[in-house]
Structure 1
Amino acid sequence: MKFATKLLHAGTAGYGEYGSTTLPICQTTAFKHDTAEEMEAIFTGEKAGFVYSRVNNPTVSAFERRLAELEEGKSAAACSSGMAAISLAVLNIVKSGDEIISGSGIFGGTYSFFGGLYRYGIKTVYPRHSTAECFEKYITDKTRLIFIEAIGNPKLDVPDIVQIAAFAHKYGLPLMVDSTSVTPYLMQAINYGADIVIHSTSKFINGGGNSIGGIIIDSGRFVWEREKYPLFKNFSKFGSFCYMAKLRAEQLKDYGSCMAPLNAYLTNTGLDTLAVRMDRICDNANKLARYLKICDKVQNVNYPGLTDHPDYETAKKQFGGRYGAILTIRVGTKEKAFSFINNLKYVFNAANIGDSKTLVIHPASTIYAADSDEQKVAAGIYDDLVRICVGLEDIDDIQADFGQALNKI
């Protein structure tokens, strides 16, 4: 079964006893059970079932199964946001005294989360480049996790996931990949060696910008060695579901960052059109990048689909000839960047990616405003840089809007 067909039919069995062809919304807080024994069995994990929507819900569970299958994973847990997914996925692994190695060009929200972990005695280090060679210099006996983004946002570097996965596994470490910017349509990171995959489902998976959400997908392949990962000791009986069993019993239940049934429904509906949307926006982004490359008002265009991008060959290999929706441009000064944004007619100035509409933002004054100059440079942020996330509009109209705005700076 090819991806577009799988997209529409995977994980959709059991949508309801009445033969519903779309996912029903189970909008309830709790679930009743006939006996106390049955409730006890569900609470102790001896029997599958639903008790309370903060822990699991039929609508949310159906969405989780669908994403797990699309990503070739073993199991999944949907969360209230992409940041909730990252937070729970990481906190499920590390404890005070542990260290994380992270790519440097990651999303500002993730960078802020990692920075805040020092309050809990957890240290994060950021090699300048997301390569196994650079990562190796930061390995210590306290390292417990390697985290990267499939495409850095907005640095737009593309790590070689096969190489980094092999490196991580050599040291007995799990590799966590934020695949938000590529979606399972461009790449299933688990097939390249990732152990855990994260998505902010608010973005391309939803596609319409109408609900916040995130999801954690576990490959079920990583062996949580007891001495290095003692927190998993009590969950080893769950075998390949060890990671997810711990996450549901502790992080998801205790922090309350569950996805709401309505958001699962909306995002699941958006998922139906993922393949056709990603084809269109990747094509639009590629054409826009080439158009901007020859604009004399633009000093630099950064897009993995351009042959002069340093990671072009890696991107081509991993993403099957598609390079995502995000590109950045530099226009000389902050003032020119603001003027360009202010003169756009229908491209939205918004703090989001993955919408059906084309979006722009000035990262240095917004998402990364609180970071130091050194941190900004490491993340690929400059005062004259504008991040663009291309949408579904006709490419001629997108180019025309960018062209007229650039001509006014």
Structure 2
Amino acid sequence: MTNKGFTTQLIHADRQLNTIEHGGVHTSTTQSVLFNFDRAQDLIDVFQGKQAGHVYSRSSSGAVTALQNMLNQLEGGVGALCFSTGMAAIASTLFSLIRAGDHIIVSRFLFGNSRSFMNTLADLGVQISFVDVTDVRCIEALYQPNTKMVFCETIANPVTQVSDCEAIGRFCQEKNIVFMLDTTMTPCYIFDAKKVHASLLVSSLTKYVGGHGNVLGGAVVDSGLYDWQTFSNIHAEYRVADTSQWGLTQIKKRGLRDIGATLSPDSASRLSIGLETLALRMSRACDNALQLATWLNSHEKVDKVYYPGLADHPQHFIARSLFSEFGAILSIELAPDADPCVFLDRLQLVLCATHLGDTRTLALPVASTIYYENGPDGRADMGIAENLIRISVGIEDIDDLIADFEQGLNAQ
């Protein structure tokens, strides 16, 4: 099926990749926590990894496995794991692979919750260096013998800084360290993470994969490009015959199983269905975002527009080399005399909500909400102005979106 178009693959992936009963086109879900075995030896063999199967739904279930198979095929990886949220995927992966005394180089533009978790790791004895990831030279300058990983996002939320992913990937190859990349803003439809030699791809499935604001989920995919035999933190019990699975096995055992951030079968089913229309929704949202950003960039009531698709964006040419589309997130700074709350309250079509990747266009004041805990100095370090408004562009008709923003801005 690899020679088929992207959406064709998505539409038929479930029934072609997974075992489905009674001719269904979607993997069935089960609400059972436990799974019965007629032979005790079969239960033992599944527990010991000698036989495929499910023993307890905290660790695995049919619907979740089906979704993992689809995500892995799309990314061309060697395996995938799903979690209850995107933050659960990030936290479980890092808790599983990183130890006290290790050093991680991290984007200083990292999303607020992810950055907060890095502070938690620091409290546990992990050395964290926050850095400008738009220039690989900044990363190179921070490398030290105990550096185990570089972690960044493709496009930062909310100021849209674009990581120099190709150069970072080359650097991580040279130093033989893990390149963990958050691809939430740039799903596989617009970005091929293997081309930049990313090792682990993490994402919030809640966003563009689910796409409708009705389900939470997260995932990590192993691209197969990192040699886990060289990673000293893999425990002896997970160093089994298939070396490509060492990393994922440890994440599954020490992260998913032990921490327990399990994706429910019902959520997995909803995400699988949302995945089918990823390309259609993403294409429309990205096209809307480019048109809206261009229009806002010429409006007298808008001081600044942050969107990688604009020619004056600092990483515009990096974005052009990495992505087939520029994403559907943009942010704006209003003119100094404009009140962000008054503007947002005037919008009639756009929802004021803390979410992104939805079919609906959403907007919120950044500094006073999702980045409030970072404080003024922390926000300044991430390039977040106090009057910044983040906009997640949906799939509405573009003329309606522009009309709504126009009436909202003209009311200032």
TM-score bin, normalised by smaller chain: over 0.9
Q: Is 1:269 the equivalent of 2:305?
A: no
Q: Is 1:391 the equivalent of 2:367?
A: no
Q: Is the 8 A contact 1:84 1:257 kept in 2?
A: yes
Q: Is the 8 A contact 1:81 1:201 kept in 2?
A: yes
Deviations 1:77-135 (A, max 9, x none): 00000000111111221011111111111211101111111221112211134322110
Alignment match, 2:8: 5
Alignment match, 2:141: 137
Matched residue of 2:213: which SS?
A: coil
RMSD: 1.4
Letter in 2 for 1:281: A
Deviation at 1:299, TM superposition (A): 0.2
- How is 1:192-211 mapped onto 2 (pairs within 5 angstroms)? 192-211=196-215
Q: Is the 8 A contact 1:23 1:268 kept in 2?
A: no
From 363, 370, 391, the counterpart of 1:367: 370
Matched residue of 1:231: which SS?
A: coil
Q: Is 1:338 the equivalent of 2:341?
A: yes
Deviation at 1:270, TM superposition (A): 0.7
Cα distance in structure 2, aligned partners of 1:219 and 1:174: 11
- How is 1:67-216 mapped onto 2 (pairs within 5 angstroms)? 67-216=71-220
Alignment match, 2:328: 325
Scaled by the length of structure 1, the TM-score of the pair is: 0.96
Deviation at 1:333, TM superposition (A): 4.5
Alignment match, 1:358: 361
Deviations 1:40-84 (A, max 9, x none): 111111211100110000000000000011111110000000000
Deviation at 1:335, TM superposition (A): 6.2
Q: Is the 8 A contact 1:224 1:232 kept in 2?
A: no
Cα distance in structure 2, aligned partners of 1:379 and 1:230: 31
Letter in 2 for 1:340: F
Deviation at 1:182, TM superposition (A): 1.0
Q: Is the 8 A contact 1:334 1:384 kept in 2?
A: no
Inter-CA distance 225–130: structure 2 relative to 1 (3 Å threshold):
farther
Cα distance in structure 2, aligned partners of 1:11 and 1:95: 37
Matched residue of 1:197: which SS?
A: strand
Letter in 2 for 1:148: C
Q: Is the 8 A contact 2:210 2:270 kept in 1?
A: yes
Q: Is the 8 A contact 2:229 2:243 kept in 1?
A: no
The total of aligned residue pairs comes to: 407
Q: Is the 8 A contact 1:15 1:21 kept in 2?
A: no
Cα distance in structure 2, aligned partners of 1:126 and 1:333: 30
Alignment match, 2:225: 221
Scaled by the length of structure 2, the TM-score of the pair is: 0.96
Cα distance in structure 1, aligned partners of 2:272 and 2:44: 31
Cα distance in structure 2, aligned partners of 1:310 and 1:49: 49
Cα distance in structure 1, aligned partners of 2:338 and 2:117: 30
Deviations 1:285-312 (A, max 9, x none): 0000011011100000110001111111
Query: Which consecutive segments of 4 or more residues in structure 1 shift more than 4 A?
Result: none
Letter in 2 for 1:255: I
Matched residue of 1:186: which SS?
A: coil
Letter in 1 for 2:106: S
Cα distance in structure 2, aligned partners of 1:48 and 1:15: 13
Letter in 2 for 1:382: A
Cα distance in structure 1, aligned partners of 2:159 and 2:356: 14
Percent identical residues: 34
Cα distance in structure 2, aligned partners of 1:334 and 1:9: 52
Q: Is the 8 A contact 1:165 1:193 kept in 2?
A: yes
Q: Unaligned regions of 5+ residues in structure 1, if any?
A: none
Deviation at 1:20, TM superposition (A): 0.3
